[in-house]
């Protein structure tokens, strides 16, 4: 099973090299590919955020940068999951369902 993790902070995932997940990686049971969304910025300063359309507080990621990162790893057999606090709870039933997938793309929400 392959996981492609799209994130602005790939260094946060270094912890995955240890414990059970680390052993699964060593035994080639799973493959974790970290994709830095910033690498797809067309801005010389690697900027990936912009102000929300219509104004207001906060920042949003530029959709073209996120799409280019996604398109770089998307295959016909990919399942895309957007990680968000507003999403559904990950439970055992969902884990069993996802375990049958060949390739999972995780899009991490920026903080």
Domain ranges, ordered by start, for the chain: 2-38+67-108
- Residue 60 token pair: 């949003």
| Domain topology for 2-38+67-108 | Alpha/beta knot (3.40.1280)
Say how many C-beta atoms besides its own lie within 10 A of residue 81's C-beta.
17
Coil, strand or helix at 51: coil
Phi first, then psi: give them for residue 107, nearest 5 degrees.
-100, 110
Low-confidence ranges of the chain (pLDDT < 50): none
Provide the whole-model pTM.
Answer: 0.87
């Amino acid at each position: 099973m392959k996981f492609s993790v799209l994130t602005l902070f790939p260094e946060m995932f270094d912890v995955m090299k240890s414990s059970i997940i680390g052993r699964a990686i060593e035994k080639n049971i799973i493959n974790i590919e970290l994709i830095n969304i910033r690498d797809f910025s067309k801005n010389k300063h690697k900027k990936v955020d912009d102000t929300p359309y219509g104004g207001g507080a906060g920042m949003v990621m530029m959709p073209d940068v996120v799409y280019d990162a996604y398109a770089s790893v998307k295959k016909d057999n990919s399942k895309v999951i957007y990680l968000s606090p507003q999403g559904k709870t990950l439970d055992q039933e969902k884990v069993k369902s996802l375990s049958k997938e060949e390739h999972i793309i995780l899009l991490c929400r920026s903080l």
